[in-house]
Amino acid sequence: MLWLLAPGTRADERPRVQPKIRALLLNGGGSASSNYLSHFHHLQDMMQALRDRGLARDSIDVFSADGEDPKPDLVVRGGVDEDFWLIEGTALGLALRRDEATNSVWEGVKLHPASTGELRRWFVKAGKEMRPGDTVFIFVTDHGSRNAEDPDNGLISLWNESLSLLEFRALLGYLKPGVRVVATMSQCYSGAFADAMSPLSDPLPSGDVCGFYSTTRDRQAFGCYPEGRDRDRVGHAFHFIDSMERHPSLVDAHDEVLVGDDSPDVPIRTSDVFFERLLSDAADKAGVKTEALIDDLLGAAWKSRARWEESIRLLDRLGEVYGTFSPRTLKELDPRIEDLQSLSKELETYEDRWELTLNDLRRENLQQFLDSTPAWKEKTDLKTLNAQSAEERKAMLAEALPAIKAFTQGREDVWRRMQDDRATHADAETAQYRVDVRLAALARMRTILVRIAGLQYFQSSGDEAAKQAFARLDTCEKTPVGSLDDDVARAAPPEVVEPLPPFEKDLETVKRVLPSWLGINFRPIPDGEREHLNVDRGAVAVQRVFPDTPAFAAGIRPGDVVLGPPGEHFDEPNRIREWIMTSPRGTAIPLDILRGEETVKTTVSLTAYPVRAPALPAPPKAGDAAPPLTTLTSIRTPADDDATSAGGKRLVFFWATWCGPCKNSVPELLAWSDSSGVPVLAVTDEDPETVRKFLDGWTKPFPARVATDTLRTIHIAYGVSGTPTFVLIDEQGKIAWRQTGYSAKKGLSVPAWSWAHGEK
């Protein structure tokens, strides 16, 4: 630090220099075809968020696409005609729907080119101007990719070039030690850049570099999903900026994003990566599996659950919003992650197959339209279209779609098939995306559990170097980036997160989009061979027959030519794919096959495409059979009653000794029990010693029946995602009512019950 001192000024009277904060906002753009308006909006929104935190305009530099170059560098997507789906995926559709490119302009803001040279100049200058104690805030929008040659050396997309992690480290090297760098990165595979936390010469974080990232090093982010197309102000970047309007601390903003970002992103921070590596190294040294070490540490942590209440509430909130349970160990969680990963891959396959089927039908229908109307065939010649202006193509599209729709509707069977295939493909796409969202929620929970285990590790470990490294990293992550006015924070509306539909709804969709299956690989027959065989356009040659499949059972062999059902031979290319996927299952269907020169008649009985639908723990709903309570351990029970018995009407009260709302609910809960005559069974997943100690010190009324669920089998079976949770079981052993959470204002919502000021 440097001070200008008047003669005779004492050292303790020296004026302190206010630390500088400089912000670098980066939207590489990649190219004009992939630089969308949403990315530019991210820059504008972040600029406003930083200004609201008191950063001066001249302390914020924006690097976007080609900078001030007047050439088009931004795609502006207009509205799409509702009938465009009729030609989507065809060559004509691609030719007519070209995104309009324009030049990005930001009045009053200078746009620097997003290039390595310009970034290097900025860091060189910052390195000369900034001093230890100053802060550089870096924001990167959604442009990034995986490095195929070195996955750990991730890439940020710049304008027609890229910036690798190693190159990013080199840029940071221009800054003096002690200048703190805090990054928020939303690009695909952004978690790879968490490695910048440690100098190349030291595996431990220096505390000078930290950040918050949209996802892990091995996952794409929301912007790479088809659901991200044509959508603005969604995904990690938007949610993080939005949360910055409510939380002075970036750590608190990150925690809100963990729940509020309802996309397949897996937001992490640098210290999450630090803990993951710390525990992996510790497990290697101990000769045990990392998961086993983490669960042992979690077991130790849960002996003092009150200490972890904030983290437990975060786990519970994630479980509530994303329709799953609230785990306490990796042993509970990891099998669910593996199940959803498998289901996601299978659904991706189904989605691809339905899209192939729909595209085959669209191309065939369009070709039939063009063949029947020579005038349109001439007007839609691709060479002609490529020479037209954007306005001419727009006018052509507006004229062509009604004609194509009228032609298609005149072919009733084709129109019905196209609508059915389109609806099924949309269902498959939605199901696959939502499974990925739930999978992301489980991955976020895993990160929280690993973090708890890492902090617990410090309680018993003598690794002082790691403790100090984490302390430095923690301080970095809590670095204030400006200051948010309390009135501004209070005025910002809280984020409202709508819970996902129950997982059972997704499984219903999975069953609906599950294609029928024959069990063959096939190839279309070229025109010359088809004329020689004298078969229709849709005939296919069987290349492979899988064992134990409907085709195998029907005696179909490699080399056979599948013609189609008798009297309805396939007359469209690849028609067999749609026929297989949409045909009924378990019914004998006649099929003609050409074997050599002889037409052979056989029957096939199709089955569902093989899939294993996972069981994701979720709350049993009203009317469902209540899971048995037989694995509970009784702590306290009246002499004439078995607290863990499965029979009889009762209310199961899931609670915890550290849970304030649980304790607050007890007076009303007991009042309801006395009024209704229904016994209450209080169930916690804490160890018996902790529960007995609590009960010994509790001087107020409490349920007489108390049991523990240390194995958490009952919590999982009941899909408990927060305490308190109340589940009423009727005389038939079915769920009659359920409530999660409690407040004095709302009370218990059990039917036919009201309670005010301690009275019924």
Confidence of residue 13 (pLDDT cuts 50, 70, 90): very low
Residues of the chain with pLDDT > 70: what percent?
Answer: 92
Whether residue 745 is contained in a domain is answered as no
687 and 714 housed in the same domain: yes
Give the pLDDT score at 492. Answer: 66
Indicate the residue among 608, 624, 651 that finishes a domain. Answer: 608
How far apart (Å, rounded) are the C-alpha atoms in residues 663 and 217?
42
- 424 plus 303 within the same structural domain: yes
Cβ contacts of 38 within 8 Å, gap of 6 or more = 142, 231, 232, 233, 234
> Does one domain contain both 124 and 264?
yes
Do 250 and 385 belong together in one domain?
A: no
Query: pLDDT digit string (tens) for 630-639?
Result: 889 999 988 6
Structure confidence at residue 512 as a pLDDT band (50, 70, 90): confident
Q: Give dist(CA 38, CA 43) in Å, integer.
A: 9
Intra-chain end-to-end CA distance of the chain, in Å: 68
CATH of the domain at 666: 3.40.30.10
Do residues 49 and 194 share a domain? yes
CATH of the domain at 586: 2.30.42.10
Assess if residue 13 is contained within a domain. no
Section 58-74 average pLDDT: 95
Better-scored residue on pLDDT, 609 or 46: 46
pLDDT exceeds 80 at position 746: yes
pLDDT digits (tens, 9 = 90+) for 442-463: 999 999 999 999 999 999 888 8
- Predicted pLDDT of residue 1: 31
Give percent of the chain above pLDDT 90: 68
pLDDT at residue 760, rounded to an integer: 40
Residue 14 lies in a domain: no
Its sign, for the CA torsion 710, 716, 718, 722, is positive
Last residue of a domain, one of 448, 478, 513: 513
- Which pLDDT band holds residue 646 (cuts at 50, 70, 90)? very low
What's the pLDDT score for residue 226?
Answer: 57
What does the block give as tokens for 687?
């160890």
Mean pLDDT across 543-561: 94
- In a shared domain, residues 502 and 377: yes
Of 319, 453, 451, 333, the residue nearest 723 (C-alpha):
319
Q: What is the pLDDT of residue 79?
A: 65
Average pLDDT, the chain: 89
Does 175 share its domain with 264?
A: yes
717 burial via Cβ count (<10 Å: 0-12, 13-18, 19+): middle
Distance (Å, rounded) from C-alpha 188 to C-alpha 185? 9
In CATH, what number is assigned to the domain containing residue 118? 3.40.50.1460
Q: Which residue has the higher pLDDT, 12 or 206?
A: 206
The answer to whether residue 6 sits within a structural domain is no
Which stretch, 23-27, 151-155, 426-430, 607-611, has highest mean pLDDT? 23-27
| pLDDT tens-digit series, residues 188-200 | 999 999 999 998 8
Residue 659 falls inside a structural domain: yes
Can you give the pLDDT at residue 470? 97
In this prediction, residue 77 has a pLDDT band, given cuts at 50, 70 and 90, of low
Whether 496 and 527 share a structural domain: no
Residues 251 and 368 in one domain: no
* Three-class DSSP category at 341: helix
Question: Average pLDDT in the 351-373 region?
Answer: 95
Residue 386 reports pLDDT greater than 90: no
Q: How many domains does the chain have?
A: 4
- For residue 598, the enclosing domain spans 515-608
The residues near 550 (Cβ < 8 Å, ≥ 6 apart) are: 517, 518, 519, 604, 605, 606, 607
- The average pLDDT across 376-387 equals 89
129 lies in the same domain as 277: yes
Confidence of residue 722 (pLDDT cuts 50, 70, 90): confident
In a domain, 692, yes or no: yes
- The per-residue pLDDT for 8 is 47
**CA distances, 665 to each of 118, 137, 445, 670, 720 (Å):** 60, 45, 27, 9, 17
- Residue 245 sits in the same domain as residue 385: no
2 pLDDT band, cuts 50/70/90, is very low
Would you state the pLDDT for residue 611?
65
**pLDDT given for residue 6 in this prediction:** 43
Quick check: is 620 in a domain?
A: no
Residue 8 is assigned to a structural domain of this protein: no
Angstrom distance (rounded) from CA 421 to CA 350: 12
Same domain, yes or no: 116 and 61:
yes
**Mean pLDDT to the nearest integer, 326-349:** 91
Q: Span 671-675, mean pLDDT?
A: 94
